[in-house]
């Protein structure tokens, strides 16, 4: 089974943040949603630099939460923008959207546990 979230890393965060862990999850999810919107918008406007920046931010934030697959997907998106390979972008964004949905549910359930 594919590991979408590094549970060990998340456990450590929970220990560090204590009561604020719930806030972290909701902050991350709200920010991730915003970045995804920026990515979509950039794609529509063919503003690939905006796509790259948003993907870069989402990559860092996701890595910090242990969302390793999402981070990897964002890295590919960032990289493709950077080297000007635009034909796969739409497809990548679709996968990122699915992955974010998936980990959102997982994170919410961990946060509520």
Partner 1 sequence: MRLLIAEDTPSDRLILANLIKRLGHEVILAIDGKEAVEQFIEHRPDIVLLDVMMPYKHGTQVAREIRQIAGEDLVPIIFLTSLNEASDLAACLEAGGDDFLSKPYNTVIIKAKIMAFSRMRRLHKEIQGQREHLVQEQIAAKGIFDKIAHYGVLNSPNIRYLISPKAIFNGDVVLAARHPNGDLLVLLGDFTGHGLPAAIGALPLAEVFHGMVSKGFALEDVLREVNSKLKSILPVGVFCCATAAHLGFRNRSIEVWAGGLPEGVIYNTQTKLIKKIHSQHLPLGILSAAQFKYQPVYFEMDDNDVIYLWSDGIIETVNAEQEMFGFERLLNVFTQSSNPNTVFDEILQHVEDFAVQGSEQADDHTLIEVKMQDAPSLALQHALLVKPKVAHRGLADCVMSCELGVESLKTFDPVPLVTHLIFQVTGLKPYVNTLNTILAELYSNALEHGLLHLDSVLKNSAQGFAKYYALRHERLNALDEGYIRFDIKHQPTEIGGKLTLQVTDSGRGFQLAQRQVTPASETNHNSLINYHGRGIRLIETLCQRLEFIAPGNSVIVEFDWQWL
CB 5 within 8 A of CB 107: yes
* CB neighbours of residue 76 within 10 Å: 17
Per CB under 8 A, does 64 bind partner 1?
Answer: yes
Per CB under 8 A, does 9 bind partner 1?
Answer: yes
Exactly one of 66, 70, 81, 103 binds partner 1 (CB under 8 A); that residue is 66
Exactly one of 7, 11, 31, 85 binds partner 1 (CB under 8 A); that residue is 31
Task: Compute CA 51 distance to the chain's CA centroid, rounded to the nearest angstrom.
Answer: 13
Of 16-24, 40-48, 86-94, 96-104: span binding partner 1 (CB under 8 A): 16-24
Length reported for the chain? 113
Minimum distance from residue 2 beta carbon to partner 1 (Å):
18
Q: Which two tokens stand for residue 39?
A: 């990515």
């Amino acid at each position: 089974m594919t590991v979408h979230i590094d549970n060990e890393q998340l456990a450590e965060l929970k220990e560090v943040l204590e009561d604020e862990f719930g806030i972290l999850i909701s902050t991350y999810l709200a920010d991730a949603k915003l970045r995804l919107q920026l990515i979509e918008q950039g794609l529509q406007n063919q503003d690939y630099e905006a796509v790259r920046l948003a993907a870069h931010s989402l990559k860092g934030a996701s890595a910090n939460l242990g969302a390793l697959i999402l981070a990897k997907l964002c890295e590919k998106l960032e990289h493709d923008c950077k080297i000007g390979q635009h034909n796969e972008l739409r497809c990548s964004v679709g996968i990122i959207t699915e992955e974010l949905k998936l980990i959102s549910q997982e994170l919410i359930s961990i946060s509520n546990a």
